[in-house]
Structure 1
Amino acid sequence: MAKITMAFQVIPKVEESRIYPVVDEAIKVVAQSGLPYEVGPMETALEGEPDEIWQVIKDAMEACIKAGASRVMTNVKIDYVPQGSTINEKIAKYR
């Protein structure tokens, strides 16, 4: 399968004052993955092989739990193009 673009949003169940610090832990996992990514105001987009990205998302959810969340709701969007798809192709004209 070609590289895909997948965007995800973690919604940790924590007190309001802890939401950003917990989400920051999830973003650290993404940054350490080595995959191309883009953090947005509502979600983070990654590109790569599907199994690689799924692992990053699972690790990001676990990071939220380790940071104190009692639960994590996660929204995922996938863009599969058989020839491949990149984040840059989607947003370059807006930069």
Structure 2
Amino acid sequence: MSAINVSLQILPSVSDERIYEVVDKVIAYIDSTGVKYEVGPMETTMEGEFDKLLEIVKNAQEICVKEGASRVLSVVKIDYKPEGVTMNEKIGKYRK
């Protein structure tokens, strides 16, 4: 299967002081998976195989709970084309 894009915005229900700490743990996990990703101010966009990216989304929820979140609200966006889609084809022209 060709690469797709999945964007994940994760909002763990933890104290305000811990939100960035918990989100940073999720981003560190994403980094450890070896998928291509970019962190934005509102979400992290990943590029890779569909099943692997959905597994990452699932595991991100579990990381938040392990860090003490009583609830996790996530917004997931999927850009899928059978022939594949890359982040570069969408935003490459904006990079300097």
Range class of TM-score, shorter chain:
over 0.9
- TM-score, normalisation: structure 2: 0.93
Q: Output the TM-score relative to the length of structure 1.
A: 0.94
Structure 1, gaps ≥5 residues long: none
Shift of 1:2: 2.2
Matched position secondary structure for 2:27: helix
Greater mean alpha carbon deviation, residues 81-90 or residues 46-55: 81-90
- Structure 1 runs (4+) deviating above 6 angstroms are none
* CA distance in 2 between partners of 1:25 and 1:72 (Å): 14
Looking at structure 2, the residues matched to 70 and 21 of structure 1 have their Cα atoms a distance apart, in angstroms, of: 15
Shift of 1:53: 0.2
Extract unaligned runs of 5+ from structure 2. Answer: none
The match for 1:33 is 33
Overall identity of the aligned pairs, in %: 53
1:13: which partner in 2?
A: 13
| Root mean square deviation, CA, Å | 1.0
Matches within 5 A, 1:29-68: 29-68=29-68
Which whole-Å CA distance do the structure 2 matches of 1:39 and 1:22 have between them?
15
